[in-house]
Structure 1
Amino acid sequence: MNFRVWVFCVWSLLVARPSVAQVTAGEEDMVRVEVIGSSIKRLVSESSQPLTVFKAEEFTKQGLTTAREVLDRIPSNQTNMGAGNTIGGNASSLPTGGQAVADLRGLGGDKTLVLLNGRRIANHPYDSASVDLNLIPIAALERVEVLRDGASAIYGTDAIGGVINFITRRSVRGTTLVAESVIPKKSGGKEKRANIISGIGELDADGWSVFGVLDYHNEDALTSQQREFSNTGVRNNLGLSRTSGVTFPGNYFDPVTKTTGNPGYPSGCNAPFSLPIGSGGTCRQDYTRQIDDLPEQEQLALFGRATKKFGDHTASLEYLHSRNKVISHTAPPPQIALFLPKTSPYYPGNSGGVPAQPNLSGEPLNVSWRPLEAGQRQINSEGEGDRLVAALEGLVAGWDYKGGLSHSINKSEEVFAGGYVQDSGFAAGVLNGILNPFGLQNSAGKAYLESVALRGKVQDAKATTTAFDLKASRELIRLSGGPLAMALGAEIRHEKSDFNVNRDIAGQAGSSGLSGSLSKNGSRNIKAVFGELSIPVMKKVDVQAAMRYDDYDDVGRTANPKVGVRWQPSPRIMLRGSASTGFRAPTLFERNAPQSRNETNNSLNDPILCPSGVPQPGANPLRDCGLQQFKLQGGNPDLTPEKSKTFSVGAVIEPASNLTVAIDYWAISLKDKIGNVPELTLFGNFERYRARFLRNPDGSPFAVLDLYENLGKVRTNGVDLSLTGTTRHMDYGDFSLKIDGTWVHKYEYQNERDGDYIQNVGRYADLFPIFRWKHNLSLTWRSTTWSATLSQNFRTGYVDQNQVDPILFNRVSSYQLWNLSGTYAASKSLTLTAGIKNLFDRDPPFTNQGSTFQQGYDPRFTDPGGRALYLRGSVDF
């Protein structure tokens, strides 16, 4: 949608919303609550924090079925790692366990703090750096609060980019049954959800309440072949040729004559799966044809809460159990460095039927082969989370206190369920003349292939967090501008992580990316104290000052202050600003993980033996040219915490009675960023990083050393903008229109201390782009029994990765999704919703990115499902 068009629509439709004066007029009757980003209870209108609140009613009507989808509608959430990233793994080529991650400001999921009802959840155990959003019980939610500001002074580590607080219902009376379905116009990706919510008792009336939620969600797999934009990695007209040199039929290399070839090349290889586009008469595998765009996924969540009043005190017990199963498929396993001797019947020209090839020495051939008959590689991932919270809050001697003990466990495991083979046994089958690398197997070959199939649990992990927190607040004295309030608090937390690798499985499958993985574990204790003051220096000026001191027994101590100011010079204008410091402590795995040798995400050339794709003396083109290389990764005990400074200033203005405009400028600077030097940076600057390229004694490549380290700085700034308006008491119903948008002015980072800054806004840098502008727009109409919502999710385009051809200029176009839904309240107990997701059936824009297994589009920022019908029904009893 044209920018000027939607701005015009906004201003032409907005005519409403109660003014600040109208809101404050009734403040005496309003209840003070704890607002995210503060420990002092206050009116929501008094907050100096830039907040976004997304009510459950809003995202259910838009057909948003997962926590990841909900957060994708938050413009400050830049990236969108979800189930699609299970295919091929994360940035380190390792499995993700189906993890979904939030990433405010594009700083990384590890710098966004995710809370459930104001308390931490154990991070995902594979990297121990961020929460898995799949654990969030979406059916139990009342709202989602997003603090778009640094908050380490209140919450400690991870709260650099902001804080997301998922807030569940506090009580339920009666029973509600809900059923949902998302039915794409095209095959694949169908979703269904069912949940039951039931409760008894009301806290205020009865002094107690108990309720529970059981939620089930299932999504069918969507394969690359079910969508035209993703069905191949070869689009020559667009500069895309993302293929693998390990193919069926196999490519060979004669180390004596230096001859390469493929017996299937003259007949077209094995189109469309492999194509005659390799150099030296070899074939290339179009592996994209045999992967999933979205894996099959099944989620189950159980949430319960019991609350009881004891005079001025309220005790509660809260339990969450969540399970997430993911089944993902990638292309059959590539096998390299296979030796085919002259004695094999399948040596070219022998009795096995493989045609003779020119320029062969008769010495053993080096073969690279992808056995399609082994089937697609299948990984079954299962994640499981449990969280128990016992809390007590109330009033003692004028202090409003709140404390709790929480215990959270997050587990995950990966199982090889098909397609993988035992490397050594497979190689022996080629060496002994049982397996035919150039054609289909005979009965003996099929039986042998089944005998070397590799199945079983390859890895599992567990992360545990146990915490005790206590905070109390009260008004101290009354100043001319109002009461001076203070909050004090303390937290003690124990974190433990265990990652176990089944070496009997992992060590036999180089194609898994896990062959070099090793078991690892770690634990630590954290102690923290914090304080906060709310100082009404004048009637219309309020200052918030906070400080937190954290003590980690493994990385040291840190103190982080924050100052916020709220000034309301008139009933229709409120100005706000804040400045703070923040930090992120290195995770247990970032410090303690042993070194492991894993494959790169991208297909690359060895810079010594095959610079620019040209084989040099001693090179093996089937190993050194255009293939995934190896990197040696692991922890670094010398890591220090990341440190940040955040500044924001903004205003909330009501230019008309029923129209609210909020604008906030924000700036974040981060130093000592923890990470790995991107693989494209290492291979693209060989002379600078020459010492990192480790070689075997014979000169062949071993791996590129790429451990975690403190890199350089990150600097980013931009503007958040929101407009909200409503019409009320109209004969034809009420309208409300809301736009939330984020414009990023600058995002630049260094890959090493004091290095050059890399510009990332509006362009794909090392790993991903930063979108210049992203917004979510919704227009809602309500009458007595009917309502309808039209929503748009929009993000700007960017300069593509262009890794395939550095000369070819390619720009990824902007992307927008429109959703339309209508709701009918048939009775007090029955509500029906129907809608269309992706109303205009917009395909993801083309990109030549090579960071994910999916090709032709980027699964991290787009929805491959296409237009879909959304149906929802709820019945109250």
Structure 2
Amino acid sequence: MMKERGLPRSLRLMFSSGVAVGLGLMAHSVQAQETKTDDAPKLQRVEITGSSIKRVAAQGSSPITVIKADDFAKTGSTTAAEVMSNIAGNQTQFNTSSNVGAGKTVGAAADLRGLGSSKTLVLLNGRRLANSAFDGSAVDLNVIPIAALDRVEVLRDGASAIYGTDAIGGVINFITKRSYTGLNLSAEGIAPEQKGGAEKRFNLSGGHGDLDKDGYNFFGVIDYHSQNAVKASDRSFASFGGRNPGVGLNTGSGNSWPANYYDFGSKTAGNPYAATGCNTTSPNAFPKGDGTCRFNSQATIGIVPKTEDIALIGKGTFKLNADNQASVEVLHAESKVKTQVAGDVFAGDQSGDPKTDYLIGKNSPYYPGNGITPGVAGLSGGPLSLSYRSADFGGRQSESKNSTDRLLLSLDGTLAGWDYKTGLSYSISKARDTLLGGYLNNDSVRAGLLNGIINPFGEQNAAGTAYLKNAQVLGTYEDAKTTVAAADFTASRELARWSAGSLGFAFGGEFRRETANFNVNHALADLSDSTGSKDAKSSEGSRNIGALFTELSIPIVKSLEAQVALRGDHYSDVGNTVNPKVALRWQPAKDLMFRTSYSTGFRAPSLYEMNDPNSKTFTASQFNDPVLCPGGKVAPNGVSARDCEQQFLRLGGGNKKLEPEKSTSFSLGTVFEPVKDVMVSVDYWNIKIKNQISVVPASDIFGNPVKYAENFVRKPDGTLDYITDTNVNLGNVHTQGFDLGFAWRLPKTAWGNFGLALDGTYVTQYDYQAERGGEYKNNLAVYAGGVGNAGGVVARWRHTATLNWSKGPWSAVLQQSFTTGYRDQNSKTVAAAYKEHQVASYTRYNLSGTYTGFKNLSLTAGIKNLFNTDPPASNVTDNFQYGYDARYTDPIGRAFFVRANYQFF
């Protein structure tokens, strides 16, 4: 047994007590777990996230944050994504609301350091899951079975030398209960004060057998969670849509209802209702000032999707002898996200070709001047090309379903003086996108307009309604599957015992076989351009990965210890990589510890990034054609409703020529106890990445049409067909900053026990290159195109602070989350007076109380967003949600929650 060494007991207990970041738990723990108590003085060696060597937990040299499951449940966190939002270093760019208006997505993702979700490795019980099939480079947090969790360990350091690819920004290890005996039922409800967004959650867990006494344990968990949708009209800050004078927005889609037209004879564009304000028929239409109408589509969408998640996990553990055990673990989890956006779009190309254009002829009863639609002076009387949006069926509704299955067989224990673990696992991730309503057969719409059945300028009659209902396209139009078959082995032991301490050694290997299949149902996808998959081709990819790794824990002197790790990986499709890590832990005094590390890392391009079928979809923001509408002014041969402030088609998808990303990471930190029961930690981190994989932001392409001339693909008549924007290796990223932790356990009082904790991250630099060798651009506290595919921002400072109280069976938690403001997107469509708009800082408070005085029953009640703080105003147009940025804020508002947990036996 290894001899206990490390910080004093009071500090160790604070670190390991589970009182971590923002959840009432002491933050920034040096160790992942401490087993010593007053009644059980025996210490055990445990495996810590970020190391292959089992050791006494206090000896770890990496900065690890531990979040205990019991504590995040008390604050009303119902999903893994919500739990991770309380980690200051997690600057995620993609949550469940980000699915609105997007296809082929991961449901929600973690993003340590703001480097992108692909650079944060997510583990379940120390092993990989298959990444989301559609995203391919990130695990969908919505499929993590949080009801089965014991804790979450967050390694805030690069770890490619230990885990291989993806661990550039850090590692998040979701750890389930080791064993369980009894039967437990939990139920939770969350009721927002405003309309929409209600949640409910139920989970049942049970287990049988005492591992030590009976030699076996079986346990299982079933967890169900759902949340209702929220419409833009349900929240004041989103109800304005694109017409929000408070942030300088007055924009809408040129594909309008009532429809805009282009008259081939007079070569003019207009709208029959423009002279009377456009909204005689449609409350969301408004005049543009050039005789056409715009449609405020963002005022009609759902800003929070309806979600439904279910997870089942079962585990059987068998004690082979006193030192060895075998286990089998089965996981099935699925997440459904239902989104709603504005009605289907039918953009006339002004070609006059009835096979591609949307035309209305003189014989249609809805032709302007034929008695139903107001006449327009100067029309030639010939066919009109339409830019039309359907207002029927309540918009377009679709559902994205992601599911994960994993079977794990494992052995671990001690053999011949070696601690070992080995396992075989097989993971499958499946995803599919399904059209639920509002998507229309393009050819049927063309025919209905020509035949005079569809009214593009007003309400439909019974025949038109029936026709459009029959023209709906329903069903699954694309699906994907990724698999990971893996075998791993790790062994560690104490090689020698020196006067300075024990020399620890570990070695191991891993083999993985990854496959990916992406399928397009062209029988369905080709019927509607809005699917974005009409031009896509089904594809597949596979690879083999082999890895060998080793690690040493070297006691240099009694107060100084080194960790040295080396890992080599071979990818059958992108080559070889070797990555080292060196870390030092120095403790010159019992209340003071320093740590530092240097490592290299890498991320292999995912099979999805390489093989995603190239397909066309509309840009998120609106742009001007740089040739036909430069600077927003119509040029000769240009048409305002087609060329100005439009969402143009964008060809995106995979690229088989992608190269791996490479990184270097450096950290330097200290943990000290200035006075009894007060812990302070400060960690500096510095990360550099080369060859980042992403897409060139559409704003960059339209903003510099000369530089990106090759990205513009035009039709024979000179109009813009689409822009090319597939995955590429861009330039470098350089970010650095500080993590700060504070924990204070106050002396016991007659009024109870109090604790105060703070977890904060201060970023001092975030620069990126949009191309190799290009200039560095700032993304720190400034909205830019350097984060993710759609742009974003890295906050300068984020923190979660927590005040804990307990007395007898009563306990309470007051939690504050804070994020600094930033310079807004301020796109070209924003009014001149708002070009320097600043997004304000954002603060939320959560309050909860728990009572455990009843036998076998605990009750929790609380208020989320105690002061009903709205998200700060933003003029961002990269998202489908206007008026605020859904990636960094919570649109739900004040919500009340109750939770009951009953232990049957």
> Is TM (by shorter chain) over 0.5?
yes
Aligned length: 859
Equivalent residue for 1:68, pick from 81, 87, 90:
81
Mapped pair 1:300 → 2:304: no
Matches within 5 A, 1:567-606: 567-606=586-625
Equivalent residue for 2:272, pick from 263, 276, 298:
263
What is the distance in 1 between the residues matched to 2:522 and 2:631?
Answer: 36
Q: What do the CA deviations read for 1:276-327 (whole angstroms, capped 9, x no partner)? A: 3313211111112221111111111111111111112100111111121222
What's the counterpart of residue 5 of structure 1?
none
What's the counterpart of residue 219 of structure 1?
227
What is the distance in 2 between the residues matched to 1:674 and 1:800?
Answer: 25
Calculate the TM-score normalised by the size of structure 2. 0.92
Q: What do the CA deviations read for 1:504-533 (whole angstroms, capped 9, x no partner)? A: 221121123333333221111100000000
Displaced runs of 4+ in structure 1, greater than 6 A?
Answer: 13-20, 22-28
Contact 2:518–2:612 (CA under 8 A) maintained in structure 1: no
- 1:791 partner amino acid: Q
Mapped pair 1:875 → 2:895: no
Q: What do the CA deviations read for 1:654-679 (whole angstroms, capped 9, x no partner)? A: 00010000000000000001111010
- 1:841 partner amino acid: N
Change (3 A) 1:551 1:16: closer
Equivalent residue for 1:324, pick from 318, 330, 335:
335
* SS across alignment from 1:586: coil
* SS across alignment from 2:622: strand
Q: CA deviation at 1:25?
A: 11
Mapped pair 1:348 → 2:349: no
What's the counterpart of residue 402 of structure 2?
383
- 2:66 partner amino acid: V
What is the distance in 2 between the residues matched to 1:277 and 1:756?
Answer: 41
What's the counterpart of residue 805 of structure 1?
830
What is the distance in 2 between the residues matched to 1:553 and 1:678?
Answer: 31
What's the counterpart of residue 816 of structure 1?
843
What is the distance in 2 between the residues matched to 1:115 and 1:719?
Answer: 25
Equivalent residue for 1:53, pick from 66, 90, 101:
66
What is the distance in 2 between the residues matched to 1:834 and 1:248?
Answer: 46
Change (3 A) 1:85 1:181: same
Contact 1:137–1:301 (CA under 8 A) maintained in structure 2: yes
Q: CA deviation at 1:15?
A: 13
Contact 2:26–2:743 (CA under 8 A) maintained in structure 1: no
Moved more, 406-415 or 716-725: 406-415
Contact 2:488–2:509 (CA under 8 A) maintained in structure 1: yes
Q: CA deviation at 1:426?
A: 0.4
Mapped pair 1:777 → 2:840: no
Mapped pair 1:290 → 2:303: no
Moved more, 261-270 or 41-50: 261-270
What is the distance in 2 between the residues matched to 1:191 and 1:628?
Answer: 34
What is the distance in 1 between the residues matched to 2:525 and 2:633?
Answer: 33
Contact 2:29–2:66 (CA under 8 A) maintained in structure 1: no
Moved more, 510-519 or 760-769: 510-519
Mapped pair 1:725 → 2:744: yes
Mapped pair 1:251 → 2:260: yes
What's the counterpart of residue 6 of structure 1?
none
- 1:320 partner amino acid: L
What is the distance in 1 between the residues matched to 2:818 and 2:267?
Answer: 53
Change (3 A) 1:118 1:237: closer
What's the counterpart of residue 180 of structure 1?
188
Change (3 A) 1:455 1:648: same
Equivalent residue for 1:418, pick from 437, 444, 454:
437
- 2:273 partner amino acid: G
What is the distance in 2 between the residues matched to 1:832 and 1:146?
Answer: 28
Contact 1:19–1:572 (CA under 8 A) maintained in structure 2: no
Gaps of 5+ in 2: 1-20, 349-357, 786-790
What's the counterpart of residue 134 of structure 2?
126
* SS across alignment from 1:463: strand
What is the distance in 2 between the residues matched to 1:512 and 1:823?
Answer: 47
Contact 1:596–1:633 (CA under 8 A) maintained in structure 2: yes
Moved more, 578-587 or 726-735: 726-735
Change (3 A) 1:223 1:774: same
What's the counterpart of residue 503 of structure 1?
522
What's the counterpart of residue 32 of structure 1?
45
Contact 2:160–2:601 (CA under 8 A) maintained in structure 1: yes
* SS across alignment from 1:627: coil
Mapped pair 1:850 → 2:861: no
* SS across alignment from 2:392: helix
Q: What do the CA deviations read for 1:384-430 (whole angstroms, capped 9, x no partner)? A: 21111110012121111100001111111111111010111101111
- 1:154 partner amino acid: I
What's the counterpart of residue 170 of structure 1?
178
Contact 2:256–2:285 (CA under 8 A) maintained in structure 1: no
What is the distance in 2 between the residues matched to 1:206 and 1:550?
Answer: 41
Contact 1:15–1:658 (CA under 8 A) maintained in structure 2: no
Q: What do the CA deviations read for 1:174-220 (whole angstroms, capped 9, x no partner)? A: 11111111111112100011111111122123221111111111111
Matches within 5 A, 1:108-127: 108-127=116-135
What is the distance in 2 between the residues matched to 1:672 and 1:552?
Answer: 17
What is the distance in 2 between the residues matched to 1:61 and 1:864?
Answer: 21
Change (3 A) 1:640 1:15: closer
Mapped pair 1:608 → 2:632: no
What is the distance in 1 between the residues matched to 2:26 and 2:507?
Answer: 43
- 1:35 partner amino acid: I
Q: What do the CA deviations read for 1:346-382 (whole angstroms, capped 9, x no partner)? A: 221124x212102212222111111212431010222
What's the counterpart of residue 813 of structure 2?
789
Q: CA deviation at 1:227?
A: 0.8
- Percent identity over the alignment is 48
What is the distance in 2 between the residues matched to 1:682 and 1:411?
Answer: 33
Mapped pair 1:190 → 2:198: yes
What is the distance in 1 between the residues matched to 2:166 and 2:26?
Answer: 40
Change (3 A) 1:594 1:299: closer
Contact 1:115–1:164 (CA under 8 A) maintained in structure 2: yes
Calculate the TM-score normalised by the size of structure 1. 0.95
Q: What do the CA deviations read for 1:844-865 (whole angstroms, capped 9, x no partner)? A: 1110101111111111111111
Matches within 5 A, 1:682-721: 682-721=701-740
What is the distance in 2 between the residues matched to 1:447 and 1:185?
Answer: 39
What is the distance in 2 between the residues matched to 1:25 and 1:823?
Answer: 25
* SS across alignment from 2:195: coil
* SS across alignment from 1:243: coil
Equivalent residue for 1:228, pick from 236, 249, 264:
236
Contact 1:15–1:657 (CA under 8 A) maintained in structure 2: no
Q: What do the CA deviations read for 1:424-448 (whole angstroms, capped 9, x no partner)? A: 1101111222212111122222222
Matches within 5 A, 1:545-560: 545-560=564-579
- 2:824 partner amino acid: D
Change (3 A) 1:310 1:741: same
Contact 1:19–1:571 (CA under 8 A) maintained in structure 2: no
Mapped pair 1:96 → 2:110: no
Equivalent residue for 2:784, pick from 765, 779, 782:
765
Matches within 5 A, 1:529-540: 529-540=548-559
Contact 2:30–2:62 (CA under 8 A) maintained in structure 1: no
What is the distance in 2 between the residues matched to 1:721 and 1:19?
Answer: 13
Change (3 A) 1:555 1:243: same
Q: CA deviation at 1:707?
A: 1.9
- 1:595 partner amino acid: N
- 2:733 partner amino acid: V
Change (3 A) 1:19 1:598: closer
* SS across alignment from 1:373: coil
What is the distance in 1 between the residues matched to 2:286 and 2:230?
Answer: 28
What is the distance in 2 between the residues matched to 1:14 and 1:59?
Answer: 9
What is the distance in 2 between the residues matched to 1:741 and 1:433?
Answer: 63
What is the distance in 2 between the residues matched to 1:634 and 1:238?
Answer: 33
- 1:672 partner amino acid: N
* SS across alignment from 2:212: helix
Q: CA deviation at 1:474?
A: 0.6
Contact 1:14–1:659 (CA under 8 A) maintained in structure 2: no
